[in-house]
Structure 1
């Protein structure tokens, strides 16, 4: 399947934003997606993942048949589950190492570093059973559950799209009580990323990928109207964010906006976050399609695309660099005089992220000679 470079770039951008957002005192986190909209990189990552699932399913089913597509995504669910376990082990061990080196960090809970040393089997078992999802990796737990349903849900969607949409909306409406039924290590009910809420966004992405050849000609007939609506939604979203950042002086505005939107809950994916990411998707896919294609062909765009193509490997690297960056930031004395040092740390981490992803994507060229040299070939 021919890759869409702009999608890889956006996926890489989402991963970089996730890394920076998990560094509490970083500098560049003030420029990430969450500072300009009511949604953040998590929504972008899940929507793009769903879109790619829809595209890949259609291609594989047309070429090899439906059973092949079902097997492929069952294997993918297993890969994501294994990545969750491996990532949790690496996260805990790296956190323990940093504490051993007296490098404090807050990006992950300190208990993981203790449990991996004192109760390694119990720690791995609780992660493998998904009774516990270490923070920074909890979106992978969500992804495991969503991908595991794909062999059943996507054929259902392809056969009865409107019924599938109705079921998805109903599950989304009942998301909070359904999530409360999932046994979990957290003091709150269910998984942090509520799978019954976030499935709405994921399967919206799947539908976009699977039906895009049928949907887009219809939507383009109303392109001007949809663009104006999308711009309005995004401006409204930006107003909410700006009012919250201003704080007390803008409290009347925030209260008025809250009467319109209600609570804006990330973890169950409320309507405002859902509609805002859909509006942004339209703007990127239609009126800004050419500028984004141009950006994807630039050096920074290609670097982000390499990160995006790294898939699960890039996600695990993103988590590790988040912890490392947080620890480095906490070694810098507070104060505006040291702002440039924290900025340098952020830039170094983004660069390191690209270098690691680029090396991984080129592993077929350097890994065999290295194995031969080490006598492992």
Structure 2
């Protein structure tokens, strides 16, 4: 049922990692061209959706080939790896932030990064870290992925056999969670910034899309402009982009936005993945899939580098988390000059690409040599 790796998925995962890195550098000019500036959703939705897509694609194949027990063990083993990476990544991030804070006199980077809890109560912070309750800035996506992937160990067989039933149950939980206040606890009586109870719906939708994408479909002969669903998705994406851009000028936004639409639209919660965010991402993903139906465009050099970053998304994400405060420190020491901000953003992406290239080379060198007959 499941075919090989789709380079388009790797490309957009890599692109999401670049956008996440740029968004995590304060005042970064290149952060103005990321997804969050052209609509209600941002790279986080791309990351979670494609994580669900890739996970179901990979472990669904294992389940069909080796059975549920082996697939479950592999999922839980990967979850454990992610958990251990999270612990070590947080320790390294704290060291970098404390180092950067000692060199930057104009800002308190420790407070900005949400590390004050560790300063004021280190013993409790260590306990909270082990329980995934202490998540400084930049660290939220990884604990979310850990919880979602662990849940996949239970949901995968049902998702493969009864896809739309699982999607329906997931949607019901998504809709009820904000009303009933369902979320996981954070330190200091807080809650997770990325609510796993609501974001699981996007993860499940990604898995359902992977299953649907493996099924044969009749070729679409009608032009895109004559397909109602494509037109609706394109119009919604465009309107969301215009509204997002108007936020830069509150007076114009308030004057043009009808009160009825404003009451229906706001607040747009990222924590609970509010419907406007979810619909914007789904509309944007649908339009993109329709405009890029084949894989040929991923074969150029630049797209290939981005695809490779997507193939090693965990390692590249971790490096981006560590590079962001270092780039912020360098920018602060340079008085936030725009040229230095652009340079650190590009150098960071270059280092992330180099890491992916090194990992790819290391993987190739580790493959056994196959002897062929002369």
Same fold at TM > 0.5: yes
Task: Write the distance in 2 (CA, Å) between the matches of 1:60 and 1:289.
Answer: 27
| Equivalent in the alignment of 1:242 | 245
The CA deviation at 1:32 is 0.8
Write out per-residue CA displacement over residues 63-113 of structure 1, whole angstroms, 9 at most, x where no aligned residue: 212222111111121122112111111111111122234475646224267
Task: Write the distance in 1 (CA, Å) between the matches of 2:282 and 2:75.
Answer: 25
Task: Write the distance in 1 (CA, Å) between the matches of 2:26 and 2:188.
Answer: 22
User: 2:290 aligned with 1:282, yes or no?
Assistant: no
Task: Write the distance in 1 (CA, Å) between the matches of 2:88 and 2:214.
Answer: 38
**Any unmatched runs of 5+ in structure 2?**
368-374
User: 2:344 aligned with 1:345, yes or no?
Assistant: yes
**Relative to structure 1, is the Cα distance of residues 71 and 44 closer, same or farther in structure 2, using a 3 angstrom cutoff?**
same
SS at match of 2:184: coil
SS at match of 1:286: helix
Aligned residues: 358
Q: Is the 8 A contact 2:243 2:253 kept in 1?
A: no
| Equivalent in the alignment of 1:199 | 200
Task: Write the distance in 2 (CA, Å) between the matches of 1:219 and 1:136.
Answer: 42
The CA deviation at 1:51 is 0.6
Task: Write the distance in 2 (CA, Å) between the matches of 1:218 and 1:173.
Answer: 33
Task: Write the distance in 2 (CA, Å) between the matches of 1:7 and 1:163.
Answer: 25
Which of these residues, 223, 226, 233, is aligned with residue 236 of structure 2? 233
Q: Is the 8 A contact 2:60 2:160 kept in 1?
A: no
User: 2:217 aligned with 1:217, yes or no?
Assistant: yes
Q: Is the 8 A contact 2:10 2:306 kept in 1?
A: yes
Say what the alpha-carbon RMSD is for the aligned residues: 2.6
| Equivalent in the alignment of 2:67 | 65
Write out per-residue CA displacement over residues 170-190 of structure 1, whole angstroms, 9 at most, x where no aligned residue: 1111223555563321553x2
| Equivalent in the alignment of 1:109 | 114
| Equivalent in the alignment of 1:77 | 79
Task: Write the distance in 1 (CA, Å) between the matches of 2:163 and 2:251.
Answer: 46
**Any unmatched runs of 5+ in structure 1?**
369-377
> Which structure 2 residues correspond to residues 31-110 of structure 1 after superposition, within 5 A?
31-102=33-104, 106=109, 108-110=113-115
| Equivalent in the alignment of 1:252 | 255
Write out per-residue CA displacement over residues 334-369 of structure 1, whole angstroms, 9 at most, x where no aligned residue: 5xxx3223222222221122112222332357899x
Q: Is the 8 A contact 2:184 2:195 kept in 1?
A: no
Write out per-residue CA displacement over residues 8-39 of structure 1, whole angstroms, 9 at most, x where no aligned residue: 11101101100110111111001111111110
Task: Write the distance in 2 (CA, Å) between the matches of 1:220 and 1:270.
Answer: 32
The CA deviation at 1:288 is 2.2
Deviates more, 1:37-46 or 1:221-230: 221-230
**Relative to structure 1, is the Cα distance of residues 347 and 55 closer, same or farther in structure 2, using a 3 angstrom cutoff?**
same
